[in-house]
Every structure is written in C-alpha cells, then in structure tokens.
Amino acid sequence: MNERIAPTVLASEPVTDGTDRDAAGPPAGAAFPELVGRGPAMQALFAEMARVVDSEVSVHIFGETGTGKERVAVAIHRRSRRGGGPFVAINASSLSDELFETEMFGHAKGAFTGAVSAREGYVARAEGGTLFIDEVAELTPRGQAKLLRFVQEKEYRRVGESEIRHANVRVLSAANVDLERRVAGGLFREDLMYRLRPIVLALPPLRERGGDVPLLARHFVRLAAQREAVPPPLLPADVVRALVSHAWPGNIRELENEISRLVVLAGRGPILREHLSRRVAEAPVPDARSCLRDARQRFEREFVGRALSRNGGNRTRTAMELGLTRQALVSKIRRLGL
C-alpha cells in the first residue's frame, strides 16, 4: 500500500522578527523536497539520509513524539531503489502477542476460529518496498523474538501454513525512547536492537530549534488558511515571541495544532495574542543567560547526537571519537536526554 503523505516540515532557518515574510524558498535538501529545511542541523540530516537511501541496511529513527519520524522514513523510501514499491507503516504498540503473527505474517484459511479466508499480513503488503515499524520499543518479548527471526532471515510463515516464504522488504524502525536504556532495563532484546539500528538518525526536538518556530508557524498558517478557505492572516510580533518562548513538548505536531487554533479563532480577522492557548500565552520569556545556556546545550546535543549516529549508536566507538571515557559519554547522554 503506497501512502500519500503531505510535505513534512523539518525546517531549520533562523527568523529574527515577527513579520510574515515567506521564508520557505526552495528546499535545501533538494533530494528530499518533502522535508523543508535550510539550517546546519537539517543539512546534516539530509546528508545522512542521502548516504543510506540506496542501501538495504536497516535504519532506526530516534526522536520525541511529534518530531516527524514517519515522514523521514517515507522520504527515505521514496528516494530509494524501492521507491516504486509500497510503503507500509505499522504501530508496534498495537501488536499484542495474539495479533503479532497474524498481523505481520498473515494466516491461512481455517488457521483458527474465525479465519474464514486466507489473509496476507503487513510483510506481504510491503513486498518489494519498505516496512516501517513505529514505536518498536513497545513490542512484547514474544513479538521481539518473532521480529528478530524475520529481520535476520527475511523468512516467515503464515499462521496455519508450513510453507516458508521469502520477503523482499527493507525494514525501517522508529522509537521515542532510547533502545539502549530499554535493553539495560531488560525490556528489549539486545540482539534485536543491533539488527534494527546499524544506522541511527536522531531528530532534534522543537525546543532545541527555537529559530525554526516562526518559519514553521507561517507555514502552518498557510496550510490552515487553505483548509478554512480564508486569506492567510499575518502573525504579529507579540504572538511570534510567545510561540518562540513555549517549550513545545509535543514538538511540531503541537505547534501545528496551535496554529490551526489561531487561524480558526481569527476567522477572517487578524490573529491576536488572546487567541493563543493559555499554556502558550503564559510561557515565560527566557533571559539572555538562559538563552546562552540553551544554545550551548543545543549545540552539544546535536554534536554528540551526530557522533552517535555516525557510529551506529555504539557508545564505545563514539566515546573514542569524542575523546571521552565511555562512562563520561553515558553521563553526558543522560544529561542531554539523548
């Protein structure tokens, strides 16, 4: 099943005022037109994506909820040799032990009560294309064991059949939690982790990309205005300052919802500060010292995150590259929330 997804906004261009200039321009990542971004962080992400698109290696996408992990997976699929094939997305948290095998691999007619006809699973639907497993950290232990065997061998059997089928799919996965922490807590198989993430793409949260907020906001204003069939309203400077000051725990998704609210409440009139939701309107404006501290932390998080990505998430190799002990790196990863 080919899924049509609207352009993803992962922009990274600093904007310093509240005027409504159209700052989108041509995308910097020309190979990924559905991902909008022109700043260093996105350029680095585009470069990493370009290196893996035509590989068959599994890629793991790590980022908080709302940072656009599935959109990145779609972009990789579309630019890969498998781009003409299907892109099938699965939410692993919905796959209970009882459902995992039938949903993933399908079943034969009469395999169990209620199986009145044969049914193909997600793997068969993704044949020749890409299988994207979101929230992979939420798989049950039994589901992890079944997935490990499939990822290793690219073989499977439908429930109720003895025939072994061979799958021609590429596996991409995503999670909003650190798989190494899950492994350390005994909640995730270490061997499966290594199979899923030889390459890791880390997506930064929106709170670490404050300069992107005005650009993203204007983009979402245009989209919301189209949906509401109204002229795109301007974003006044006091509203932009409030948007930039908010921490955005829900990331880009939360920002899009906030902008949709503003456009609906404004109607055909101007957007006003009182249209903001309370949690955004009451966000404290950071002082210069906190801005500098946050900027340093953003740089360090991005720098360490890219090093982890280059080393496939291997902390020992990353520590050696950065000139740190492994213990110091682990402490830094925890402090930075990586």
Number of domains in the chain: 2
- Note the pLDDT of residue 183: 94
- Note the pLDDT of residue 156: 87
- Note the pLDDT of residue 137: 95
Distance between CA atoms of 41 and 306, rounded to whole angstroms? 9
- In this structure, is residue 192 part of a structural domain? yes
The last residue of a domain, from among 183, 204, 225 = 204
The last residue of a domain, from among 182, 204, 226 = 204
Instruction: Point out the least confidently predicted range of 134-143, 288-297, 318-327.
Output: 288-297
pTM, full prediction:
0.73
Contact between 217 and 240 (Cβ < 8 Å): yes
How do residues 236-292 score in pLDDT, each as one tens digit?
A: 999 999 998 899 999 989 999 999 999 999 999 999 999 999 999 887 655 555 556
Q: How confident is the model at residue 25 (pLDDT cuts 50, 70, 90)?
A: very low
How do residues 134-177 score in pLDDT, each as one tens digit?
A: 999 999 999 999 999 999 999 988 887 778 899 999 999 999 99
Q: Across-strand partners of 171?
A: 131
How do residues 201-222 score in pLDDT, each as one tens digit?
A: 988 888 877 677 888 899 899 9
Instruction: Point out the least confidently predicted range of 126-135, 176-185, 290-299.
Output: 290-299
4: number of Cβ within 10 Å: 6
- Note the pLDDT of residue 30: 63
- Note the pLDDT of residue 286: 55
- In this structure, is residue 238 part of a structural domain? no
Coil, strand, or helix at residue 119? strand
- In this structure, is residue 257 part of a structural domain? no
Please indicate, yes or no, whether residues 86 and 195 belong to a single structural domain of this protein: yes
What CATH number is given to the structural domain containing 322? Answer: 1.10.10
Q: How confident is the model at residue 329 (pLDDT cuts 50, 70, 90)?
A: confident
- In this structure, is residue 299 part of a structural domain? yes
- In this structure, is residue 220 part of a structural domain? no
Q: How confident is the model at residue 36 (pLDDT cuts 50, 70, 90)?
A: low
51: number of Cβ within 10 Å: 10
Please indicate, yes or no, whether residues 88 and 197 belong to a single structural domain of this protein: yes
What CATH number is given to the structural domain containing 121? Answer: 3.40.50.300
The last residue of a domain, from among 176, 204, 232 = 204
Distance between CA atoms of 21 and 237, rounded to whole angstroms? 12
Average pLDDT, the chain: 82
- In this structure, is residue 164 part of a structural domain? yes
pLDDT at 11 over 80: no
Quote the domain boundaries for residue 328: 288-336
How do residues 65-97 score in pLDDT, each as one tens digit?
A: 998 899 999 999 999 999 999 999 999 998 888
Please indicate, yes or no, whether residues 183 and 60 belong to a single structural domain of this protein: yes
**Separate counts of helices (H) and strands (E) for the chain:** 14, 11
